[in-house]
Amino acid sequence: MEAMSLLAGLELAAGGGAGLSPEKRAALGSSLLLLQRDYRFERVWFWGRIQGLQGDYYIAEGLGPDRAAPRSRLYSLNCVEWSLLPPATREMVARAEQLKGRFQGDPSFEYKYAEISAEDAERLIEDGKEPVIKEEARLVATIELIDRAVGIVPRGAFVKTPLGSVHENRNFEGLSLTEAKKLSSYFHFTEPVNLKNKTLLEKADLDPSTDFLDSLEHDTPRGSWTVQLEKGGTVVVLRSLLWLGLTFYHVPMTKQYGYVYFGTGEKNLDLPFML
């Protein structure tokens, strides 16, 4: 969610019971603006909080002119001091997916691989590396996985230029209430996968400037999203059952939308058996 409208966004997404204390809200409200100034970001998003056993990670994302470009991610343990995270790599994400259990809340904590072949362990030792992964790397990979799977935006909120860059749509005035209740009106804000597999006939009805992302309607497993009306029917809220703690909100007929994550950073692997 936008740092500039942090307090309003937290109120709209608070229906699930997650939120921040007044002290944390005040600290974030000032530190995120300083973060934007110091790092010269065009926009700063408050991504959410990953709960650890010893402490919590507060996550922010910095965006440049091209909204589809890789984002700069930062974390804080106290909502005041921020540290820049390294970019997520495929190897980092693959290794992090092997880890189970809660975060510790200590960036320097080292996990040992529970499931790693003898060949991989020997190769790591030969390279001068121990078969361990630091929690900071796991944090980077988990944020990347959540953004890929459940980081969403309303249809029409962003436009793709002929040169391939993505920008905010200044003409976007929000979805109608009827459209806002449909999963097809929301897109994954990441590199499309299903769109590339569509036939030319299916692509004929799409607007290439706005329909350049994957829709939520074909997400698997089916039923992994809940759509609810809150605040007297004035706010549409989507919650992910795959990554419990992810909440997206949109006020129909306005530009107010965003998502925030308050959870443990663990994927709900039991979801297929719960539906």
| pLDDT score of 228 more than 70 | yes
Torsion of CA 10, 106, 73, 56, to 10 degrees: 0
For residues 225 and 219, the answer to whether their CB atoms sit within 8 Å is yes
Greatest mean pLDDT among 26-30, 93-97, 200-204: 26-30
Strands (E), 32-131: 43-51, 56-63, 72-76, 83-84, 110-112
CA angle, 9 as apex, 6 and 11 as ends, to 5°?
Answer: 110
For residues 140 and 88, the answer to whether their CB atoms sit within 8 Å is yes
Q: What's the confidence (pLDDT) of residue 32?
A: 95
Residues 6+ apart with CB under 8 A from 95: 113, 133, 137, 141
Q: What's the confidence (pLDDT) of residue 229?
A: 95
Q: What's the confidence (pLDDT) of residue 22?
A: 92
Report the distance separating Cα 135 and Cα 54, nearest Å.
13
pLDDT in tens, 43-81: 999 999 999 999 999 999 999 999 888 999 999 999 999
Look over the chain and give the mean of its residue pLDDT values, rounded to a whole number: 89
| pLDDT score of 203 more than 70 | no
Q: What is the pTM of this model?
A: 0.90
Q: What's the confidence (pLDDT) of residue 245?
A: 94
